């Protein structure tokens, strides 16, 4: 059992990094069984976008993924989607609902880019404090974006759903970063982790995505 | 391998398997749990350190202090800060903490501490990665403690199981041993019942065994009852229950010639004067009643005197043999008064009532001689009056020695060991020697006469001195065996075996020369054995384990008691000479003896005929089932 766990950890990381061998049939099965056939066109488009993007440059991959989700998925808060706040949805859940919260956008983009072959080390999910203009003046809001680091020391590109364009972080004065993470080096339990209470929200999401067919 | 050992092994093996299984399962589960906990702790602590570092200044001192604070406040094997290029910026490590967990255990159950990783950022820029590894010592300690606890529980549980199993086995073994004991007893022809255990499987075994024992016992009882009938018909007078003429003459001859018979005694004869007349006048029924009454009196008289025998010789003649009695006056007067009573009761109606004759005999006298003397005395009594008693002048009256004289004589003989054994061969059917029967001889005085057992044993018995004589006889017998005799039988008197002290002395004597014991045959007379059967039983129980052969001599008159011999483990019976005499011509006795041999063989006893007088008698015996014979007709070779 121990041996199995030790083998599974690195193996899943490797697959996530390489982005190879996504089992679309299995993903589709997971999607249809939960959300019905009506969600299939969006799924097929996503699949097509990934297929077309796989041979492009990294900049082009970023643009296509960012545009796909910003255009096709409507923003909504977790409470109205899931009935409770702060639910991290897997990409399949996001596609199935057609609606998503800010972290769901970032997660769906993160998974899609990894599938297109972007190394995990270049991607960071970043908690940011966002400054938005409201009817009564600017308001601060907790938000999440996906950052892309072409190299460790460069200014990252920000993939966001508030501002649909990809912009360098230095130009996003409305965002101030708090903390960042990715799935590199993350201990993911023993593969069939059933006691979810032991997992962080991030680990929980990884486990659910793995159950749907993301390696 | 014994059942006991097999069951033990099964208990041990099952306990071990249960232990190994639970040990492995619980160790692996606990280790997995601990690894999981360690990984979560590493990951959480790395994240919280990274989060706080991301918020603060990134000058080297602050960064260093933060890492140091984290490292120093917890139990970490290593905390590292690695820059985005993979170069270690800060590293704090500590060696594994010493614990009391043995190294082999750590090698056997390694607990992996999966490092926790978290990203530290400075604004949008990557600053580095925190890698944090907790010490796994506490996990080993947990695992080791669990292991020790499990072993302790296993030991306690194993011991408990073992004790439980042992008790269980004991419970199973006890009835099994009892059944084995019973089966062994059956092979020794002893029929004992055993208690039935509670467990149904064993209970059915025990009850089947008990049922078998009961059936066998019932079979023997039935056979014995049938034979008792045969014996009565062959040897007893139908009307009075006394011995018949033929049997009485055998008894008389035995009394006159057997080696251990009393040296003298009295023969008494009674004749009802006019039985034919009574029969004619008062009827057959009255005559029969008269004879029954007289018979009853004779039975009463024999019961009170050991060795006495009574018989109805023919129509009106009764005889009474009183070995060892020299003055029959009391008995004679009892009989005279009986006749008087019968006369006054009207059962004897004539003038002539009855006549009595008595005569002393001595051992070795001829039977014809004795009977003719008694007949003469009876004739003179008949000449005297209607009711008279005459003593025959047999010329064997002798001065009776007093008790004190005898005591002195016996003590002197024992003290100076003026004792010896003589021997008679006891031969099997093919003439082979079974053993030497060795009666004791005692020299009355120095260079004096050697007395036969029959002449001094009755006195020794009266003076309670048989135990010393019997012990002496047993000692002499062992000497004789040691000197090369194949097997030696000695007679023990019934009085001796009554004494517990005698039994233990004899046991000690034989134990001291145990290698000789299997060649020593010990026998007790029928009267001695059955009169105090419980003591005889105790005697047998004490002697059997030594390996001695045990038997009853002069057997036959109390044949109906043979059922009691089933369970005491005897080896042989010697049938009294009075049954053997002229056996070749007595079909009634033949039937009885045939049956007796068959029953005795069924309970594992050899049967030996005593007092075989003629070659014809000897030739008849094997067909009846006898295993051996002794007496004048058995050749000494």
Is residue B1 over pLDDT 80? no
Q: What is the mean pLDDT of residues A172-194?
A: 70
Name the residue among B51, B84, B117 with its Cβ closest to that of A186: B117
Q: Enumerate domains of chain B plus CATH numbers.
A: 3-159 (3.30.450), 238-391 (3.30.70.270), 403-630 (3.20.20.450)
Number of residues assigned to chain A: 215
Q: At B421, which helix (H) or strand (E)? A: strand B419-421
Smallest Cα–Cα separation from B422: which of B436, B409, B411? B436
Number of residues assigned to chain B: 637
Name the residue among B28, B85, B114 with its Cβ closest to that of A1: B28
Q: State how far the Cα of B625 lies from the Cα of B592, in Å rounded to an integer.
A: 11
Q: What confidence category does residue A185 fall into, taking pLDDT thresholds of 50, 70 and 90?
A: low
Name the residue among A9, A147, A184 with its Cβ closest to that of B117: A184
DSSP-assigned letters across all residues of B348-390: S-SS--EEEEEEEEETT--HHHHHHHHHHHHHHHHHH-SEEEE
Q: State how far the Cα of B489 lies from the Cα of B498, in Å rounded to an integer.
A: 20
- Whether residue B386 contacts residue B418, with contact meaning beta carbons closer than 8 Å, is answered with no
CB contact under 8 A, B119 and A6: no
Q: State how far the Cα of A106 lies from the Cα of A91, in Å rounded to an integer.
A: 10
Smallest Cα–Cα separation from B347: which of B279, B300, B301? B279
Looking at the complex, report in whole angstroms how far the Cα of residue B23 sits from the nearest Cα belonging to chain A.
Answer: 16
Residue A214, Cα to own-chain centre: how many angstroms?
12
Q: Residue A156: closest CA among chain B residues belongs to which residue?
A: B124
Is residue A163 over pLDDT 80? yes
DSSP state of B561: G
Name the residue among B32, B54, B126 with its Cβ closest to that of A152: B126
pLDDT at B321: 93
pTM for the structure as a whole:
0.52
Structure tokens at B268: 């008494």
Residues in chain B closer than 8 A to A200 (CB atoms): 43-44, 47
Q: Residue B37: closest CA among chain A residues belongs to which residue?
A: A198
Looking at the complex, report in whole angstroms how far the Cα of residue B57 sits from the nearest Cα belonging to chain A.
Answer: 13
Q: State how far the Cα of B295 lies from the Cα of B79, in Å rounded to an integer.
A: 125
Structure tokens at A117: 């072959």
Q: State how far the Cα of B378 lies from the Cα of B438, in Å rounded to an integer.
A: 40
Looking at the complex, report in whole angstroms how far the Cα of residue B153 sits from the nearest Cα belonging to chain A.
Answer: 26
Residues in chain A closer than 8 A to B115 (CB atoms): 185
Q: What confidence category does residue B98 fall into, taking pLDDT thresholds of 50, 70 and 90?
A: low
Is residue A20 over pLDDT 80? no
CB contact under 8 A, B117 and A198: no
CB contact under 8 A, A6 and B31: no
Is residue A13 over pLDDT 60? no
Name the residue among B43, B119, B124 with its Cβ closest to that of A187: B43
Q: At B627, which helix (H) or strand (E)? A: none
Residues in chain B closer than 8 A to A170 (CB atoms): 124
Is residue B505 over pLDDT 90? yes
Q: How far is CA B174 from CA A212, B185, B199, B208, B528, in A?
A: 68, 16, 12, 17, 37
Q: How far is CA B458 from CA A11, B403, B440, B502, in A?
A: 113, 11, 13, 18
Is residue A197 over pLDDT 60? no
Is residue B421 over pLDDT 50? yes
Is residue A188 over pLDDT 80? no
Could you give the count of Cα atoms lying within 13 Å of A172 in the half-sphere of its Cβ? Answer: 28
CB contact under 8 A, A198 and B40: yes
- The CB density around residue A185, as the number of other CB atoms within 10 Å, is 18
Classify residue B241 as exposed, middle or buried by CB count within 10 Å of its CB (0-12, 13-18, 19+). Answer: middle
Cβ partners under 8 Å of residue B43, min gap 6? A186, A187, A200, B114, B116, B117, B118
B364 to chain A, any CB pair closer than 8 A? The answer is no
Is residue B3 over pLDDT 60? yes
ipTM score assigned to the predicted complex: 0.75
The strand pairing partners of B360, in sequence order, are B266
Is residue A14 over pLDDT 50? no
Give the tens place of pLDDT for each residue, B105-144.
Answer: 888 888 888 888 888 888 888 888 999 998 888 888 888 9
- The CB density around residue A100, as the number of other CB atoms within 10 Å, is 25
Smallest Cα–Cα separation from B473: which of B634, B456, B529, B434? B456
Residues in chain B closer than 8 A to A12 (CB atoms): none
Classify residue B427 as exposed, middle or buried by CB count within 10 Å of its CB (0-12, 13-18, 19+). Answer: buried
Q: State how far the Cα of A159 lies from the Cα of B480, in Å rounded to an integer.
A: 125
Query: Which percentage of chain B shows pLDDT scores above 70?
Result: 98
pLDDT at B578: 86
- Whether residue B534 contacts residue B506, with contact meaning beta carbons closer than 8 Å, is answered with no
Q: Enumerate domains of chain A plus CATH numbers.
A: 2-212 (3.10.620.30)
Indicate the range of A47-51, A180-184, B206-210 predicted with least confidence.
A180-184
Cβ partners under 8 Å of residue B147, min gap 6? B23, B27, B105
Is residue A12 over pLDDT 70? no
pLDDT at B459: 81
Cβ partners under 8 Å of residue B140, min gap 6? B99, B101, B105, B106, B109, B111
Select the residue from B83, B124, B126, B133 to test the A interface by mutation, using most A Cβ atoms within 10 A.
B124
DSSP-based three-state secondary structure for A52: helix
Structure tokens at B1: 């391998």
**Cα torsion angle, A141, A145, A150, A152, sign:** positive
pLDDT at A186: 63
pLDDT at B70: 87
pLDDT at A45: 92
CB contact under 8 A, B32 and A1: yes
Residues in chain A closer than 8 A to B56 (CB atoms): none
B31 to chain A, any CB pair closer than 8 A? The answer is yes
Q: State how far the Cα of B303 lies from the Cα of B526, in Å rounded to an integer.
A: 15
Residues in chain A closer than 8 A to B44 (CB atoms): 200
| Angle (deg, nearest 10), helices B60-73 and B3-55 | 160
Q: What confidence category does residue B401 fall into, taking pLDDT thresholds of 50, 70 and 90?
A: low
- The CB density around residue B630, as the number of other CB atoms within 10 Å, is 24
- Whether residue B609 contacts residue B626, with contact meaning beta carbons closer than 8 Å, is answered with yes
- Whether residue B178 contacts residue B194, with contact meaning beta carbons closer than 8 Å, is answered with yes
Q: At B507, which helix (H) or strand (E)? A: helix B500-511
Give the tens place of pLDDT for each residue, B158-205.
Answer: 888 888 888 887 888 888 888 888 888 877 767 788 888 888 888 888
- The CB density around residue B192, as the number of other CB atoms within 10 Å, is 14
- The CB density around residue A39, as the number of other CB atoms within 10 Å, is 18
pLDDT at B394: 60
Q: Where are the alpha helices (DSSP H) in B188-199?
A: none
Sheet with B419-421, side-by-side order of all strands:
B419-421, B440-443, B450-451
Name the residue among A6, A156, A200 with its Cβ closest to that of B124: A156
pLDDT at A2: 39
* pLDDT: which is higher, B519 or B96: B519
Give the tens place of pLDDT for each residue, B242-284.
Answer: 999 888 988 898 888 877 788 888 999 999 888 888 888 888 8
**Cα torsion angle, B622, B254, B564, B237, sign:** positive
Mean pLDDT, rounded, of chain B:
87
Each as own residue / partner, the long-range contacts of residues B146-153 (CB below 8 Å, 24 or more positions apart, any chain) are B146/B26, B146/B27, B146/B30, B147/B23, B147/B27, B147/B105, B150/B19, B150/B22, B150/B23, B150/B26, B151/B23
Residues in chain B closer than 8 A to A169 (CB atoms): 124
Give the tens place of pLDDT for each residue, A57-73.
Answer: 999 999 999 999 999 99
Could you give the count of Cα atoms lying within 13 Å of A188 in the half-sphere of its Cβ? Answer: 28
pLDDT at B473: 92
Q: State how far the Cα of A158 lies from the Cα of A198, in Å rounded to an integer.
A: 31
- Whether residue B188 contacts residue B569, with contact meaning beta carbons closer than 8 Å, is answered with yes
Is residue B292 over pLDDT 50? yes
**Cα torsion angle, A61, A66, A71, A74, sign:** positive
Compute φ and ψ for B62, nearest 5 degrees.
-60, -45
DSSP state of A129: E
Query: Which percentage of chain A shows pLDDT scores above 70?
Result: 83
Name the residue among B32, B119, B123 with its Cβ closest to that of A2: B32
pLDDT at B294: 92
CB contact under 8 A, B55 and A186: no
Is residue B536 over pLDDT 90? yes
Give the tens place of pLDDT for each residue, B477-495.
Answer: 999 999 988 899 999 998 8
- Whether residue A109 contacts residue A66, with contact meaning beta carbons closer than 8 Å, is answered with yes
pLDDT at A21: 61
Structure tokens at B353: 């009532």
- Whether residue A44 contacts residue A64, with contact meaning beta carbons closer than 8 Å, is answered with no
Residues in chain A closer than 8 A to B50 (CB atoms): 179
Name the residue among B35, B51, B117 with its Cβ closest to that of A179: B51
């Amino acid at each position: 059992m121990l041996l199995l766990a030790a083998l599974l950890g690195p193996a899943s990381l490797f697959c996530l990094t390489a982005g190879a061998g996504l089992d679309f049939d299995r993903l589709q099965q997971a999607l249809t069984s939960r959300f019905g056939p009506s969600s299939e066109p969006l799924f097929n488009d996503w699949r097509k976008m990934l297929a077309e993007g796989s041979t492009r440059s990294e900049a082009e991959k970023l643009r296509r993924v960012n545009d796909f989700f910003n255009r096709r998925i409507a923003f909504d808060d977790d409470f109205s989607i899931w009935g409770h706040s702060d639910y991290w949805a897997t990409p399949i859940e996001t596609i199935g609902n057609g609606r998503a919260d800010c972290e769901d956008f970032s997660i769906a983009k993160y998974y899609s880019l990894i599938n297109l072959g972007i190394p995990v080390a270049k991607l960071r999910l970043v908690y940011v404090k966002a400054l938005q203009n409201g009817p009564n003046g600017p308001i601060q809001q907790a938000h999440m974006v996906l950052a892309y680091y072409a190299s460790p020391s460069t200014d990252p590109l920000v993939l966001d759903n508030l501002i649909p364009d990809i912009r360098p972080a230095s130009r996003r004065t409305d965002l101030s970063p708090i903390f960042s993470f990715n799935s590199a080096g993350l201990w993911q339990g023993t593969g069939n982790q059933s006691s979810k209470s032991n997992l962080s929200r991030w680990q929980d999401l990884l486990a659910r995505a793995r159950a749907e067919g993301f390696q | 391998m014994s059942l006991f050992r097999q069951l033990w092994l099964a208990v041990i093996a099952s306990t071990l398997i249960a232990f190994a299984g639970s040990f492995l399962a619980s160790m692996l589960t606990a280790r997995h749990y601990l690894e999981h906990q360690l990984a979560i702790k590493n990951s959480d602590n790395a994240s919280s350190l990274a989060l706080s570092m991301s918020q603060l200044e990134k000058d080297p001192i602050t960064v260093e202090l933060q890492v140091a604070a984290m490292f120093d406040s917890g139990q970490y094997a290593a905390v590292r800060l690695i820059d985005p290029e993979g170069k270690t910026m800060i590293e704090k490590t500590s060696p594994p903490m010493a614990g009391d967990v043995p190294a082999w255990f750590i090698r056997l159950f390694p607990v992996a501490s999966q490092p926790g990783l978290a990203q530290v950022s400075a604004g949008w820029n990557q600053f580095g990665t925190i890698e944090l590894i907790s010490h796994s010592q506490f996990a080993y300690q947990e695992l080791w403690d669990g292991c020790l606890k499990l072993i302790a529980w296993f030991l306690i549980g194993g011991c408990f199981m073992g004790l439980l199993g042992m008790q269980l086995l004991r419970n199973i073994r006890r009835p099994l041993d009892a059944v084995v004991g019973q089966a062994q007893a059956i092979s020794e022809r002893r029929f004992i019942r055993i208690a039935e255990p509670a467990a149904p499987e064993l209970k059915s075994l025990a009850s089947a065994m008990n049922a078998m024992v009961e059936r066998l016992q019932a079979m023997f009882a039935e056979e014995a009852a049938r034979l008792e009938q045969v014996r009565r018909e062959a040897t007893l007078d139908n009307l009075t229950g006394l011995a018949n003429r033929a049997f009485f003459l055998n008894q008389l001859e035995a009394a006159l010639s057997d080696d251990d018979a009393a040296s003298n005694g009295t023969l008494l004869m009674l004749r009802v004067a006019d039985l034919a007349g009574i029969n004619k006048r008062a009827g057959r029924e009255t005559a029969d009643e008269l004879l029954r009454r007289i018979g009853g009196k004779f039975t009463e008289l024999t019961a009170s005197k050991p060795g006495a025998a009574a018989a109805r010789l023919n129509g009106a003649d009764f005889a009474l043999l009183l070995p060892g009695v020299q003055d029959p006056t009391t008995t004679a007067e009892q009989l005279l008064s009986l006749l008087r009573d019968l006369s006054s009761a009207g059962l004897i109606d004539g003038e002539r009532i009855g006549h009595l004759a008595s005569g002393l005999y001595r051992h070795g006298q001829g039977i014809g001689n004795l009977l003719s003397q008694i007949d003469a005395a009876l004739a003179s009594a008949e000449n005297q009056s209607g009711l008279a008693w005459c003593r025959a002048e047999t010329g064997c009256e002798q001065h009776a020695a007093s008790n004190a004289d005898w005591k002195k004589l016996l003590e002197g003989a024992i003290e100076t060991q003026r004792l010896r054994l003589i021997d008679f061969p006891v031969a099997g059917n093919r003439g082979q020697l079974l053993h030497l029967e060795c009666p004791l001889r005692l020299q009355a005085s120095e260079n004096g006469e050697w007395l036969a057992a029959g002449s001094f044993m009755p006195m020794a018995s009266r003076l309670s001195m048989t135990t010393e004589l019997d012990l002496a006889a047993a000692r002499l017998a062992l000497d004789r065996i040691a000197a090369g005799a194949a097997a030696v039988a000695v007679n023990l008197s019934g009085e001796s075996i009554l004494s517990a002290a005698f039994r233990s002395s004899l046991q000690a004597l034989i134990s001291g020369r145990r290698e000789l014991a299997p060649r020593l045959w010990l026998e007790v007379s029928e009267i001695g054995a059955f009169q105090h059967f419980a003591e005889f039983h105790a005697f047998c129980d004490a002697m059997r384990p030594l390996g001695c052969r045990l038997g009853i001599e002069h057997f036959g008159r109390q044949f109906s008691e043979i059922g009691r011999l089933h369970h005491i483990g005897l080896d042989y019976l010697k049938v009294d000479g009075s049954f053997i005499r002229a056996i070749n011509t007595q079909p009634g006795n033949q039937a009885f003896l045939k049956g007796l041999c068959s029953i005795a063989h069924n309970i594992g006893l050899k049967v030996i005929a005593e007092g075989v007088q003629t070659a014809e008698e000897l030739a008849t015996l094997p067909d009846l089932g006898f295993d051996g014979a002794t007496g004048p007709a058995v050749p000494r070779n």
